[in-house]
Amino acid sequence: MKILLDCRFKKGAGPNVATVYMLDELIRLNTKHKFIVLQNPNQSLPEYPGVEKLVVPVKNNFLEFLWVQFYLPKLLDKLNIDIYHSLKHVSPLFAKIPTIEYIHEVGHFFSEGLEAFNLSLANRIYHYHLKGWSMKRATHIIGTSQQCEKVLHQKLGIPKEKISTIRYGLDKKFRVIDDRGEIVECCKRYGLPENYILCVGNICAQENYDTVIKMYGKLRSQDENAPKLVLVGDTGNAESDFLELMKQLGLNEDVILTGFVEHRDLVYIYNGANLLLFPPTVAAFGIPPIEAMACGIPVVASNIDAIPEISGEGAALLFDEPRNVDKMLEAVNLVLHDNQLRQELRNKGFERAKEFSWEASALRVLDLYKIIGTEKICNAVT
């Protein structure tokens, strides 16, 4: 079959990284299909032997949307595409072929999530209405967790038989680094200290970093020798707000905003951390906890949405009410000072991380192509 993989995205962010991993594995494992990859102009995707790239010829977001909705369906017919698979975006609503959508976030589909994502009116219309309509029309939907499947079924009324839960995998480069010198060298490039509490994720409302900074202010007031706080991720338009909050709390010297970090460096930054704090208020998955576990770093995380499902029983210390400064502080203090708990989290985390594989996830997607392709043939015959 000819399958178009829609891989349009911008730099950074977990779902975008996941898109590349899934793309890599689908192409590596494929033996039966011809893939065509749809990408944005100036988007840097790897070159794959025998895989054609199709570039959206416009750069403006609105024009891109119009191109996908009104021109792409004609192009799908012209190229004799059998299946359109969106790894992130809204499908062409008037496509005449089977469509698959890979859903990374579901917070857009309820009021608390919309508030957490702090979306503009245009983005609310896009994510809530257009994406909702697109998913209802899709042949099949891939969700990243059972929690994701539950929201899609309950909030949008999508039949469960139309949804498959296929979790993110884990890049094999995330592991324990035995050479301390390599860790120190990488950390120095980003201005990181010897001891630090780590948060990984773009700095935006749903990541809950304002609460993290307030919690850290309390931690420093209790213990002036506490590890510093390192926030890894693109700051976007939020940097000035966080700098102001840090200034108000007297934390300018103790909180480090790295900005965007090259993905290849993350394994060293995880290995250098005392713990990973993963505090989002909305989460359909959560790659950082699994990456940290594979690196032997204890994890403290919000007890919300898909995080308990993904982190597994006892492999992370979960705290309720992610906006509650005191509950977050209590969990962080426990992991910092209880050596037995730290070792228990490390051991269970190692085992949990072994359960995540991009190869296994991609094989399930390839099986899904086979099922949908068979249904298409049967429908054509009848």
Q: Lowest-pLDDT range, 23-27, 110-114, 130-134, 280-284?
A: 110-114
Q: What is the mean pLDDT of the chain?
A: 88
- Pinpoint the alpha helices (H) of 31-156: 61-66, 72-78, 111-117, 121-124, 131-137, 146-156
Rounded to whole angstroms, what are the CA distances from 234 to 10, 202, 207, 327?
Answer: 12, 5, 12, 26
Q: How confident is the model at residue 79 (pLDDT cuts 50, 70, 90)?
A: very high
Q: How confident is the model at residue 126 (pLDDT cuts 50, 70, 90)?
A: low
Taking residues 313-328, report their average pLDDT.
96
**Is 223 in contact with 300 (CB distance < 8 Å)?**
no
Would the pLDDT of 39 be above 70?
yes
CA-closest candidate to residue 133, choices 166, 99, 164, 160: 99
Residue 116, helix vs strand vs coil: helix
Both tokens assigned to 7: 């891989």
Would the pLDDT of 133 be above 90?
no
Instruction: Please give the pLDDT value at position 382.
Output: 43
Instruction: Please give the pLDDT value at position 59.
Output: 84
Taking residues 274-298, report their average pLDDT.
93
Instruction: Please give the pLDDT value at position 13.
Output: 54
Taking residues 60-68, report their average pLDDT.
88
Taking residues 12-30, report their average pLDDT.
81
Provide the residue ranges of all domains of the chain, joining segments of one domain with +. 2-169+357-381, 180-353
CA 338, chain centre distance (Å): 30
| pLDDT-above-70 percentage for the chain | 89
Q: Is 131 left (phi over 0), alpha (psi -120 to 50) or beta?
A: alpha
Q: How confident is the model at residue 80 (pLDDT cuts 50, 70, 90)?
A: very high
With a CB cutoff of 8 Å and minimum separation 6, the contacts of 239 are: 203, 257
Rounded to whole angstroms, what are the CA distances from 373 to 87, 169, 300?
Answer: 18, 25, 43
Q: Compute φ and ψ for 160, nearest 5 degrees.
A: -60, -30
Instruction: Please give the pLDDT value at position 191.
Output: 95
Q: How confident is the model at residue 11 (pLDDT cuts 50, 70, 90)?
A: low
Would the pLDDT of 76 be above 80?
yes
Q: How confident is the model at residue 379 (pLDDT cuts 50, 70, 90)?
A: low
pLDDT in tens, 230-275: 999 887 666 777 788 888 988 889 999 998 888 899 999 999 999 9
Q: How confident is the model at residue 381 (pLDDT cuts 50, 70, 90)?
A: very low
Q: How confident is the model at residue 119 (pLDDT cuts 50, 70, 90)?
A: low
CATH code for the domain defined by 2-169+357-381: 3.40.50.2000
Would the pLDDT of 77 be above 50?
yes
- Decide if 2-169+357-381 and 180-353 have a common fold: yes
Residue of higher predicted confidence among 79 and 282: 79
CATH 3.40.50.2000, domain 180-353, yes or no: yes
CB atoms within 10 A of CB 56: 18
Pairing of strands 140-143, 163-165: parallel
Taking residues 56-83, report their average pLDDT.
92
Residue of higher predicted confidence among 245 and 97: 97
Largest CA distance in the chain: 74
Instruction: Please give the pLDDT value at position 123.
Output: 62
